Amino acid sequence: MRIALLTYSTKPRGGVVHTLALAEAFARAGHDVTVWALARGGDTGFFRPVAPEVDVRLVPVAEVEGESVGERILRSIALLGSAFDEAYDVVHAQDCLTANAVGRARGYGSLWRTVHHLDRFTTPELAACHERAIAEPAALVCVSRAVAGEVLAGWGRRAAVIGNGVESSRFAGAAASGAGEPWRARYGRYVLAVGGIEPRKGTLDLVSAMGLVPGVPLVIAGGDTLFDHRPYRAEVFARAAELGVEPVVLGPVAHEELPGLVAGAAVFAFPSTQEGFGLAAMEALAAGVPLVTRDLPVLREVFAGAARFADAPEGFAREIGDVLAGSDVDPAHATVGRALAAAHTWDATADAHLALYRRGGPKS
Kindly state the DSSP code that residue 167 receives in the 8-state scheme. Answer: -
Q: How confident is the model at residue 334 (pLDDT cuts 50, 70, 90)?
A: confident
pLDDT higher than 90, residue 104: no
- Averaged pLDDT of the chain: 94
Burial of 241 (0-12, 13-18, 19+ CB in 10 A): exposed
pLDDT given at position 69: 85
* ∠ CA 84-89-90, rounded to 5°: 70
Parallel, antiparallel or unpaired: strands 90-93 and 111-115: parallel
Report d(CA 272, CA 151) in Å as an integer: 19
Give the closest residue to 336 by CA, choosing from 298, 288, 295, 283.
Answer: 288
Residue % of the chain over a pLDDT of 90:
84
Question: Which stretches of the chain are DSSP H helices?
Answer: 14-28, 69-83, 96-106, 124-135, 145-155, 168-177, 181-187, 203-210, 230-243, 258-264, 279-286, 297-303, 313-325, 332-343, 346-359
User: 29: which residues sit within 8 A by CB, 6+ positions away?
Assistant: 347, 350, 351, 354
pLDDT higher than 60, residue 364: no
- pLDDT tens profile 140-196: 999 999 999 999 999 999 999 999 999 999 999 999 999 999 999 999 999 999 998
Pick the residue with more confidence: 328 or 8?
8
pLDDT higher than 60, residue 304: yes
**Residues 285 and 338 sit within 8 Å (Cβ to Cβ):** yes
Burial of 268-291, coded b for 16+ CB within 10 Å and e otherwise, reads bbbbbebbbbbbbbbbbbbbbbbb
Cα 77 to its chain centre, rounded Å, is 21
pLDDT higher than 80, residue 137: yes
pLDDT higher than 90, residue 74: yes
DSSP-assigned states of every residue in 68-124: -HHHHHHHHHHHHHHH-----SEEEESSHHHHHHHHHHH-STTEEEEE-------SH
pLDDT higher than 60, residue 363: no
pLDDT given at position 156: 97
pLDDT given at position 120: 81
pLDDT given at position 362: 62
Give me the mean pLDDT over the 285-310 stretch.
96
Report d(CA 332, CA 27) in Å as an integer: 36
Give the closest residue to 292 by CA, choosing from 175, 208, 192, 171.
Answer: 192
Q: How confident is the model at residue 349 (pLDDT cuts 50, 70, 90)?
A: very high
Partners of 141 in the β-ladder: 114, 160
User: 178: which residues sit within 8 A by CB, 6+ positions away?
Assistant: none
pLDDT higher than 80, residue 332: no
- pLDDT tens profile 222-275: 876 666 678 899 999 999 999 999 999 999 999 999 999 999 999 999 999 999
Report d(CA 311, CA 362) in Å as an integer: 34
pLDDT given at position 333: 73
pLDDT higher than 90, residue 360: no
- pLDDT tens profile 35-69: 999 999 889 999 999 999 999 999 999 989 999 88
pLDDT given at position 264: 98
pLDDT higher than 90, residue 111: yes
Give me the mean pLDDT over the 302-314 stretch.
94
Domains and CATH numbers, the chain: 2-165+345-359 (3.40.50.2000), 168-343 (3.40.50.2000)
